[in-house]
Amino acid sequence: MSDFSIMIQMILVVFLIISAIGVSVTKNLFMAVIVFMGYSSIMAIVWLFLEAPDLAITEAAVGAGVDTVLFFLTLKKVHALKGTRENSRASTCQY
């Protein structure tokens, strides 16, 4: 294994740690989903470096793809995303 490959793997591990901490400490749910999507994408690349392409494809499809869509739909359904009609109407009402 070359020094360049090892350096890339170390950088990916650092990004994994940073994104895992970022998801845990963020208060904004939208940003948490975006960071989680990044975590899953980085993890798919790590699986490729570990020579497990089947896991990489699964992580990319499920972690960065399906999970992200489900999280966004859930946030929209519970009106946690700003800009939905109910939230904008409720915030402009003056009592």
Q: Of 24, 15, 83, 73, which Cα lies nearest the Cα of 49?
A: 15
The label of the residue with tokens 């009609």 reads 85
What is the sign, positive or negative, of the torsion defined by CA atoms of 63, 66, 68, 70? negative
What is the model's pLDDT at position 86? Answer: 53
Per-residue pLDDT of 33-66, as tens digits, reads 999 999 999 999 999 999 999 999 999 999 889 9
Q: Which three-class secondary structure state does DSSP give residue 23? A: helix
pTM: 0.76
pLDDT score of 85: 56
- Asked if the model's pLDDT at residue 82 lies above 90, the reply is no
